[in-house]
Structure 1
Amino acid sequence: MNMSSVVIIRVLKLSLVCMILLALDTVEAQQKLTMGFYKTTCPTAEQIVRDTVTKAVTANPGMAAGIIRLYFHDCFVRGCDASLLLKTIPGNEVESEQDAGANAGTLRGFEIIDQAKARIEAACPKTVSCADILAFAARDSTNVVGGFSYAVPSGRRDGRVSNISEVDLPGPSFNLNALKRAFATRGMSVGDLVALSAAHSIGRADCRFAASRLYLFNGNGTDPSLDPKYAALMKKKCPKDKLSGVTELDIVTPNRLDNQYYRNVNQHQVLFSSDQSLLDSTMTARMVSNYANNPIAWRKDFAAAMVRLGSVKVLTGTKGEIRKKCGAIN
């Protein structure tokens, strides 16, 4: 065998190795979430989360809204990788997602996720990701305050980056087109948008977010699209000189995740203009009316949308890491 033949063989071997590595990387990138991912490695994982969340939310139903909001705000930035749970490192010039204007001082439920994580680490060290724990916790919060549940595929891994500059979340003043764009860029449909909007049937909002519709519409008026009786009630809950307070998003069933939200939208009794905008197109208005009259259909679609949300830009396989503590990278 001459030298040129040896060189050719070595090149072919190197090319084959590169092709194998590329194929493995492609499989890695395409790895999907699966049901029962921890069945053998940590069979008690989901039960631990369920017990922790049920106890906390039963004691304080408002925490369900907090946990579902954590899940939403995490998945909408960098995907569902628990980047929202990372705290800003003192002295680090890059602040975490927690410190963004849309999140700062308004997020709740971190301690519940941390409690579940600590219990799981004691049972199955370095096995269950914070991203999966958050997905399980959102499902279990839904069950406590909504009375229905759904299966959550898992296998997510935790990201190592949380950057305040990347936070780009739908806001309470978004119009319908802006909401559609925000969901579409995450691979979510208009149907997902309408179904998930009912998360605003629980929880509370800072009164400062009500000012634009109660006192500053067109400069110094009240938004005429608000039901007058509802507007008067909101002004009592959020006086113009005391906008530092909070109010329930749904004044009818504030601690129940249900389809009352859609009745509120139809009756123009919602605080955020983003919620009221669901009536601005024939298609979304029809969805609102359908959910207002059909709670079973809404529950089914809400559950499916929560699962799709949990699949946004996930890290799987060897991507990312399994954090020991949810607030810091390993």
Structure 2
Amino acid sequence: MKIFQLLFLASFFTIFYSGATALNETYYASICPNLESLVQGAVRGMMSTTNIAAAATLRLFFHDCFVQGCDASILIQNANGDDELHNFDNQFLRADGYRTIMAAKAAVDADPQCTNKVSCADIIALAARDAVFLSGGPTWKVELGRYDGKISTSSSVNLPGPSENYDQLMSRFSVHNLTPTDLVALSGAHTLGATSCFHIYSRLYPTPDSYLDPGFAIQLQGQCPAALNVNQFIFFDNSVVTFDNDYFKVLQQKKGLLFSDEVLYVDNRSSSIVDKFATDQSAFFTAFVNSMLKLGRIGVKTAVDGEIRKDCHFTN
């Protein structure tokens, strides 16, 4: 009898534990069979209206997963203003990303089979993949089955900073079991989009830092004058809206915009990874997909501690 009870308990906890974090590619196959085409259609539509929709959507996924896990808590709006969105680190997130997710949510819920059955967290994960693919990057099967979180606080935001060195960056990434290769590959997402002059101002004034190519520093000072304008944005690389490996080539030229970008090439613990990705785009694409999948598994919520939000901005 005792043996039977032990076997039953072992079986129960194995099922419960595996179900607690299990994601799979076909999670919505019978629940919302048109999910992927609905989300991709919405992303494509937003990208046709603004050239930063892809970058903003991809960045939203990272900012969400890195805080309390991939639970769409980045979208929650608290009445008292104490939410992730109002943390200073998220003040430069562009509204285009939020609009893309809300457009995808509306498209999904407009399908009677799907209404209020798909989590905002899964929609963000799918939209991030589509933003990459529709920009010329790789595609992959997104693991699905996340529930939405119920809590969002400004104090919970603790993101890697644009002025951090390699050790500081890796300390943040290693907490989530992400490796140096993940750090470099995910940083490659900067091949899309731009950053505010605010984030590079200290690299230019009073004198440019030594990690910057001198000619490039002068160019940046022309784009980001000493009279700081936080609404002035600079593109990360030359391909602007194309997802490719140009970002890594820029780092090799000492033209990385953020200190946290350029340090990846300056530090010999990651420079060889930058070199590899700069010369082999397919290697970058493969690593990026693997890193995005790992990122997407962080802090997954279940029916026990999550919900399927009817409105992505508010808990049920």
| 2:82 alignment counterpart | 95
- Which sections of structure 1, spanning at least 5 residues, go unmatched? 1-8
Q: Would you say 1:82 and 2:68 are equivalent positions? A: no
1:143 corresponds, among 121, 124, 133, to: 133
| 1:315 alignment counterpart | 301
Letter in 1 for 2:213: D
Give deviations 1:264-293, integer Å, cap 9, x for gaps. 111100111111111243331001011110
Q: Would you say 1:118 and 2:106 are equivalent positions? A: yes
Give deviations 1:102-134, integer Å, cap 9, x for gaps. 102533311111111122122112210000000
Q: Residue 82 of structure 1 contacts residue 134 of structure 1 at CA under 8 Å; is this kept in 2?
A: yes
Are the structure 2 counterparts of residues 15 and 306 from structure 1 closer, same or farther at C-alpha, using a change threshold of 3 Å?
closer
1:246 CA displacement: 2.1
| 2:289 alignment counterpart | 303
Q: Residue 143 of structure 1 contacts residue 149 of structure 1 at CA under 8 Å; is this kept in 2?
A: yes
1:66 CA displacement: 0.4
Sequence identity percentage? 35
1:142-291 maps to which residues of 2 (within 5 A)?
A: 142-215=132-205, 220-291=206-277
1:26 corresponds, among 2, 14, 17, to: 17
Q: CA RMSD in A?
A: 2.3
1:249 CA displacement: 3.1
1:318 CA displacement: 4.2
Q: Residue 182 of structure 2 contacts residue 288 of structure 2 at CA under 8 Å; is this kept in 1?
A: yes
CA distance in 2 between partners of 1:297 and 1:15 (Å)? 47
1:257 CA displacement: 1.6
Q: Would you say 1:106 and 2:93 are equivalent positions? A: yes
Q: How many residue pairs get matched?
A: 313
Q: Residue 187 of structure 1 contacts residue 312 of structure 1 at CA under 8 Å; is this kept in 2?
A: no
CA distance in 2 between partners of 1:266 and 1:24 (Å)? 48
1:224 CA displacement: 2.1
CA distance in 2 between partners of 1:22 and 1:307 (Å)? 25
TM-score, with length taken from structure 1? 0.88
> Which structure has the larger Rg?
1
1:27 CA displacement: 4.3
TM-score, with length taken from structure 2? 0.92
